[in-house]
Structure 1
Amino acid sequence: MRRTASPLSLVLLGLGTFLLVLAPLLAWYVEPRAALNPIDIDTTAVYTGTGSVFDVEQVRTVPDQKITVTQRVRGDVAESERSGAAVWDVITTVDTDRSLPAADPHDALEFIPHRWVSDRGTNRPVHCCKEKPYIEGEAYLKFPFDVRERSYRWWDNSLGATVTLHYEGRKKIRGYEGMRFTATVPATRTGTRLVPGALVDEPGRPQVLAEEWYANHGLELVVDQATGRVLYARTGPRRTLRAPGGTEDAAVLLDSRKLAFTADTQKSAVEQAERDSGLLRLVGRTLPIGTAVVGFVLAVPGAVLVVRGRRRPERSESPQDPITI
């Protein structure tokens, strides 16, 4: 008797082996390449709240104003493809009801354009492509993929430096759980500005190079763990002017205890986080596990059938007639 493998057993073994090899490839090769910062991003986040703002026309600080901060992020696809990094152009505007709606963002109370360039996988800053300012830290606009329960260095563009955000547990935004991080920023000198002397309590001087100071009553960010997307953001900026060498604030440019994502911005952020984290989970966990299980189920019986084979009788030659003399 001799053994031969049936076509079915070979098909089962081959397909099962293929799926067993595919499973780790999905988890260790495909999934990390799916977790990349996009280059064609086009998104807008809106913060609202109340606070005090400096009115240029009245030349004084006006309290109890509704404040709207709009942050639009657009990817420079051509520059991203050339550099291999994610090149995002960011425009931040600060408005009161008097400057909204504005046909031109330059009409806003404040108009701040800048560029952020990051490694698409690690989210770390990449210094190329005429980025401005020179951004540092581990996170800005978003966190890295697979966020950990630890502190992160977040770039604060108003400060012009990084702020340490501390992990504070979990928090749900519109029913979706994220990781909560908080920080405060003490009053810090950030630059100078040429202003009338009377604005900083020096009426005898027509122009003074006043000191710009920035503080933050409290930063709070709630982040999707898988994608690093910010689901909710709250900030409490305070920007003031001081006389040269002064120790007290002489003029308040902007002061708000709470500027936070609007309901629409939260909704959009949660929907995108659910979609993107679901895709990462599918490629990195669901498909590899399912593929491995199906591969095992197919490969085992296929191997058994190949080993057992199918018995067939050997062909025997017909006996020769005896030779007679």
Structure 2
Amino acid sequence: MRRTASPLSLVLLGAGTFLLVLAAMLAWYVEPRAQRTPIDTDVTTVFAGQGSYFDTKKVKTVKGTPLTITRKVRGDVADSEKSGRAIWDVATSVDTDASLPAADPHDALQWTLERWVTDRKTNRPVHCCEESPYFEGEAYLKFPFGVEKRSYSWWDNTLGGTVQLAYQGTKKIQGHEGYRFTAKVDAVKTGTRQVPGMLVGQPARGQVLAEEWYANHGIELVADQRTGRILFAAIGPRKTLRAPGGDTDEVVLLESERIAFTKDTQKKQVELAAADGRRLVLVGLTVPVGAGVLGLLLAAAGTVLVVRGRRKDDEAAPAAELSPS
């Protein structure tokens, strides 16, 4: 009876083949599916800066005041798993030092509660699952995975529409390099509000439907290229009131030339992006390459042993045939 291969050669060949298949699966199947917006997120980001706001007690705009914007994002895991979408509940408050820390968020200058629903792969909005508000664009709380060097449509919730972000090269945040995008928003009417006529230069009228206007001195965002996570954000909002049909701002409700992520928020965002990035590199590059190289070596070694085993059997066969029975 002929023995064509040793057990060791078959084990090496099998292990090598398995590792080669594993490497391919990790690189082309598992890693792309790992690029999914998380549903269990729980992140708080804080913006800080100087600005002006309308003090309802003093009935005037107060200037040069420290302003803080706090945004808390929490994933609704149950609804996300049920729908297959990323469903995030987002609470945003704008405060002065007087309302921090706020026992009740309604004490803030502004407070909003929103529900964002996106496709976990593309980051595009999905209009379902009690989404509020309705929004469009390619990015809002984050960019898609694999950020590209191009313009992106960014949803500006105060505007109630998208803003075109222009790619402006790279920028390092806390030592971590990201892609930088900028935009501006020219003054645009966003709604109306009933106020005393005297506030908007019409003292003879009791109540008027004043026009709400919004502009942004500048939006700057720096995103991690691999994960799309925002490492740094700065905005320059200006919200004002105008008389009905007026063309000048009569009251400044809120304004800041620049309010940006605090150093602590930047550090946390960079840490999260780096951790997410390492996982993606591990699954998509490090393990596949390692498995591929090792699999190739084992498969080659197993093949060599199989070939040698067959040659030895072939050489031994004639002698066995001539031996006496």
- The TM-score normalised by the length of structure 2 is 0.95
Give yes or no for contact 1:3–1:308 (8 Å, CA) kept in 2.
no
Deviation sequence 1:3-43 (CA, Å, 0-9, x none)? 61111111111111111111111011111121111111111
Letter in 1 for 2:31: E
The runs of 4+ residues in structure 1 deviating greater than 4 Å are 314-320
In 2, Cα distance between equivalents of 1:10 and 1:253 = 77
**Corresponding residue number in structure 1 for 2:214:** 214
- Please tell me the residue identity of whatever aligns with 1:178: G
Q: Corresponding residue for 1:256?
A: 256
The 8 Å contact of residues 221 and 232 in structure 1, kept in 2 or not, is answered as yes
Aligned to 2:87: 87
Unaligned runs of 5+ in 2: none
CA distance in 1 between counterparts of 2:211 and 2:307 reads 83
Q: 1:237 to 1:319 in 2, by over 3 A?
A: closer
Q: For 1:249 and 1:82, locate their aligned partners in 2 and report how far apart those are by CA, in whole Å.
A: 47
Moved more, 34-43 or 252-261: 34-43
In structure 2, the residue corresponding to 1:126 is in which secondary structure?
coil
Report what 1:323 is aligned to.
none
- 1:59 paired to 2:43: no
Give the equivalent residue in structure 1 for 2:228: 228
Which residue is equivalent to 2:100?
100
Q: Is 2:219 the counterpart of 1:202?
A: no
Alignment partners' CA distance in 1, 2:130 and 2:58: 38
* Contact preservation (8 Å) 1:87, 1:118: yes
| Secondary structure, counterpart of 1:293 in structure 2 | helix
Task: State the partner residue of 2:136.
Answer: 136
Instruction: Name the CA distance, whole Å, in 1 between partners of 2:37 and 2:2.
Output: 59
Task: Name the amino acid aligned to 1:9.
Answer: S
The residue that corresponds to 1:247 in the other structure is 247
Higher helix share: 2
The match for 2:37 is 37
Q: Is the 8 A contact 1:158 1:214 kept in 2?
A: yes
1:47-73 alpha-carbon deviations (Å, 9 max, x no partner): 000011000001111100100000011
Which residue number in structure 2 is paired with residue 301 of structure 1? 301
Q: Which amino acid in structure 2 is aligned with residue 160 of structure 1? A: G
Structure 1, unaligned runs of 5 or more: 321-325
AA in 1 matched with 2:257: R
Q: CA offsets, 1:199-257, max 9 Å, x none?
A: 11111111111111100000000110010000000000000011111111111001100
CA RMSD of the aligned region, Å?
1.5
1:162-198 deviations in whole A, cap 9, x for unaligned?
Answer: 1011110010011111110000000011111111111
8 Å contact from structure 1 (residues 240, 251) kept in 2: yes
Q: Which amino acid aligns with 2:57?
A: E
**TM-score between the two structures when normalised by the length of structure 1:** 0.95
Percent identical pairs in the alignment equals: 66
Distance in 2 of aligned mates of 1:80 and 1:202? 50
- DSSP-derived class of the 2:8 partner: helix
Please give the per-residue CA displacement for 1:104-147, whole angstroms capped at 9, x wherever unaligned: 11111111111110011110101101111111000011000010
Q: 1:198 to 1:13 in 2, by over 3 A?
A: same
SS at match of 1:39: coil
**Shift of residue 159 of structure 1?**
0.6
> 1: CA distance between counterparts of 2:77 and 2:208?
43
Q: Please name the residue that 1:182 is paired with.
A: 182
Range with greater deviation from structure 2 (310-319 or 291-300): 310-319
**Do the aligned partners of residues 319 and 9 (structure 1) sit closer, same or farther apart at CA in structure 2, a change above 3 Å counting?**
closer
CA distance in structure 2 between the partners assigned to 1:36 and 1:160 by the alignment: 26
Give me the whole-angstrom Cα distance separating, in 1, the residues matched to 2:16 and 2:96.
64
AA matched with 1:284: G
In the other structure, the counterpart of 2:170 is 170
